[in-house]
Amino acid sequence: MAAALTEGQEPDPDEPLGWQPIWKRPRTPKSKAAKAELRKQRKRLQGAGKRRLAASQSRRPRSRQNRIGNAAARRDARALSRVRHSNAWLW
């Protein structure tokens, strides 16, 4: 870039300086209509994401580990209940 410029010549401020990462590019001002459009789009996408999450949650099979844990807890609860409801005296 510097080699392309001749002595005493400045680059145009409006002219882009070749490739730049997006976070270094100057921000272009958006009109109110463009902002409203983006807001609508963001809301639509968020709604779709929520619906997708809800749909996947309702149909998702539980993990095997989770089922094993629940079964063990049920067995323990059943055994405790039997002891509690039996008429055997525990001293």
Measure the CA angle with vertex 62, ends 82 and 46; round to 5°: 135
User: Computed from CA positions of residues 15, 26, 23, 46, in that sequence, does the dihedral angle turn out positive or negative?
Assistant: negative
The pLDDT of residue 37 is above 70: yes
What mean pLDDT do residues 1-9 have? 53
Q: Which of 8-22, 23-37, 38-52, 60-74 tops mean pLDDT? A: 38-52
Check residue 44 and give its pLDDT.
95
